[in-house]
Chain A
Amino acid sequence: MTTGLLKAAEPAADTRSIRTGRPVRTRREAPAGRRTGRQVIPHIVLAAFIVYFALPFWWLIVASTKSQQSLFDGKTSPLWFSGSFDLFSNLSSLFSYSGGLYAHWLGNSFLYAIAGGLGATVLSVLAGYGFSMYGFRGRRLFFAIVLGSVMVPATVLVIHMFVIMSTVHLTNTVWAVILPSMLNPFAVYLMKVYTDEAIPSEMVDAARVDGAGEVRIFARVALPLMRPAVVTVLLLSIVGTWNNFFLPLVMFSNPQLFPVTVGLGALQAQAQVNTGGQSLWNLVITGALISIIPLIVSFLTLQRYWQGGLAIGSVK
């Protein structure tokens, strides 16, 4: 089912499931005439869902165009723009706050996400291929540990990783976040399942008979076939690291190293206690808006990859 679903998620690529050979439904195949009449209620329910799921985004966009004062004065609706458009002044005070700290946070998030995501992808592609293609002593136990590790609560690991990291003097360095982020057991599971389905062992045997070495088979035969899953795993690992909050929260005390999630959390906590003096709420709001744009854009542009990835994990 795996490969079929990967394909099914790509709208126009291929309308047949590879494994079963039966047609995968597409929009065009819908019987004509079903669109009208009886489908009003389902559309209303969907519209209600959209309002619910989009409401926070709409509020955030509106609020980021308001000045500190008009956020609180109660003269304009929280769900509609005020007379003046202050997005750009909010942006400039956001990026000039505390000597450009916010730009640091964004840069850190990119660094951790890309380094951690690339590392996790390389490790899980190699491991997934190894688990799938070779029988070796201890393989079953090893793979059972991989599956079980998904269930280990983050606190157990992170609190003690902090103690270990601090004994080797790695807390408050970028490695404290990048190295643990490279461990992604779920990605290994996805790659193994995908490799099982996508690479026929006959093909690998044929390459062996032709005298190709194992490394060459992996690089020239297997890797091109694994590409869709590699991109999916890369995307999911990057997103996972970008969204991580607990690990950097524990590892860093230096605000210069914060990723944007921890930074905004700290800024919000500060805004909370700041009754007088400089108010920070418009910075928190604009900062939240900027921080979600990269991920939403990447999800919308690369949708076929993440959909395929979620499908691999689910149906197997």
Chain B
Amino acid sequence: MTQTAVAPPRQRSPRTPRRRDMVGLRRARWGWAFTAPFAVFLVAFLLVPLVYAFVLSLQNTTLAGGTSWVGLANYVKAFTDPLFLDGVWRVLLFAVIMIPAQMLVALIAALLIDALTTRFAKISRLLIFVPYAVPVVIGALMWGFLYSPSFGPAQELFGLVGLQAPNFFSDSNVFGSLVNIVTWQWAGYYMIIIYAALQGVDPSIYEAARVDGANAWQIALRIKIPMVASSLLLVLVFALIGTLQFFNEPQMLRGMASGSITSNYTPNIYAYTVAFSYHQFNYASAIAFALGLVIFIGSYVFMFATRKRSGLMK
């Protein structure tokens, strides 16, 4: 973050320190005045629910005994609950497979539309991005139709090459079906981020490499990708935070893939089920909070480890 804005303004004429204090104090008041409305919302809709969640997670409520403090018992329960750990394990698996898939598609598309200067490339950029404009829920709904054996085109498309269409909703295939939906939905967004970074690179570097005899492949691999490394890291952080919070797509497919997507498929679905189907808000808070802690520590460590390149935490 640039610090120029906070530095005290250069004084045209020498002033007494006392007067400068007054100016600083007035400035500080204006700073709070401008940020106060946002601060009110931040407290009301972020900090209060967060603190409340934490308090709830330390309590237990029973019909007979009322509310009592139980310390970290709910957390101990969560981290020994096979249903919760199963979900955590699954989103980690999703992270390992889904994030590289999205980034690879986004990177290839960005490099292509950056290198090609035709009208076709420009149209591709728009079309690849359009899924981002579709609500996640509607995207999952559309793919649910495409996967459907009764009115999807899968049988026809696989028939073209003489294959039998797989059951996209089976226990073993639903994982890949979800990876595909998420890649379709988000790759275009990540492509635009990477493409914007590519457009910011000085083209004379490519010219120099070309003069030195580098071909298009070498320029892409050795120059372009390292030059946009910071935006790739940003994409990675976005994708990581999104994947660990995986909820909407599996929740939408649950109706169609009856049985394959369980009520503990991801930690978020599990927390939602525990809260609203079992009405165990205390335990749901502990699950949600434990997940939040994992995400927060994970992304913070990640950004700290890569802070020199990403510039996010400058």
Instruction: Name A's B-contacting residues (CB within 8 A).
Output: 1, 4-5, 8-9, 17, 20, 22, 24-25, 27, 30, 34-35, 38-39, 42-43, 45-46, 49-50, 52-57, 59-60, 63, 71-72, 77-79, 122-124, 126-127, 129-137, 139, 142-143, 145-157, 159-161, 163-164, 179-180, 182-183, 185, 188, 192-193, 195-197, 201, 205, 208-209, 214, 218, 239, 242-243, 245-246, 250, 261-262, 264-265, 268-269, 272, 281, 284-285, 288, 291-292, 295-296, 298-300, 303, 307, 310-311, 313-316
| Alpha-carbon distance between A98 and B39 when the two chains are bound, in angstroms | 42
Main secondary structure of the interface of A (DSSP, over half): helix
Q: Judging by beta carbons under 8 Å apart, are B153 and A78 in contact?
A: yes
Contact with A along B24-38 (1 / 0, CB 8 A): 100111111111011
Contact of A310 among B37, B192, B200 (CB under 8 A): B192
B50 within 8 A of A: yes
Q: Which of B64-72, B74-82, B131-139, B171-179 contacts A (4 or more CB under 8 A)?
A: B131-139
Contacts of A20 in B (CB 8 A): 202
Q: Judging by beta carbons under 8 Å apart, are B196 and A46 in contact?
A: no
Contacts of B33 in A (CB 8 A): 130
Contact with A along B189-209 (1 / 0, CB 8 A): 100111011011011000000
Name the residue of chain B whose CB is nearest to the CB of A281: B151
Contact of A133 among B31, B38, B247 (CB under 8 A): B31
| Alpha-carbon distance between A50 and B130 when the two chains are bound, in angstroms | 11
Contact of B109 among A49, A205, A292 (CB under 8 A): A49
Q: Judging by beta carbons under 8 Å apart, are B200 and A4 in contact?
A: yes
Q: Judging by beta carbons under 8 Å apart, are A53 and B127 in contact?
A: yes
Known interface pairs A45-B112, A46-B121, A135-B31; A53-B199 also in contact (CB < 8 Å):
no
Known interface pairs A55-B146, A265-B252, A284-B141; A127-B156 also in contact (CB < 8 Å):
no
Contacts of B5 in A (CB 8 A): 132-133, 135, 195-196, 201
| Alpha-carbon distance between A217 and B9 when the two chains are bound, in angstroms | 15
B4 within 8 A of A: yes
- Least CB distance, B163 to chain A, in whole angstroms: 17
- Least CB distance, B84 to chain A, in whole angstroms: 13
B304 within 8 A of A: no
- Least CB distance, A104 to chain B, in whole angstroms: 17
Q: Judging by beta carbons under 8 Å apart, are B45 and A78 in contact?
A: no
Contact of A288 among B142, B156, B197, B245 (CB under 8 A): B142
Instruction: Name B's A-contacting residues (CB within 8 A).
Output: 1-2, 4-10, 12, 24, 27-35, 37-39, 41-42, 44-50, 52-53, 56, 105, 108-109, 112-113, 115-118, 120-124, 126-139, 141-146, 150-153, 156, 184, 188-189, 192-194, 196-197, 199-200, 202-203, 216, 230-231, 234, 241, 244-245, 247-248, 252, 255-256, 268, 271-272, 275-276, 281, 284-285, 288-289, 291-292, 295-296, 299-300, 311-313
20 contacts between A and B (CB under 8 A): A4-B200, A5-B199, A9-B196, A42-B112, A43-B118, A56-B184, A127-B38, A137-B28, A142-B39, A143-B1, A145-B42, A149-B46, A153-B288, A183-B45, A246-B247, A246-B248, A292-B135, A292-B138, A299-B129, A299-B133
Q: Judging by beta carbons under 8 Å apart, are A130 and B30 in contact?
A: yes
Contacts of A27 in B (CB 8 A): 117, 122
Q: Judging by beta carbons under 8 Å apart, are B248 and A245 in contact?
A: yes
| Alpha-carbon distance between A309 and B296 when the two chains are bound, in angstroms | 25
Contact of B292 among A5, A77, A153 (CB under 8 A): A153
Name the residue of chain A whose CB is nearest to the CB of B203: A25
Known interface pairs A56-B142, A157-B50; A314-B244 also in contact (CB < 8 Å):
no
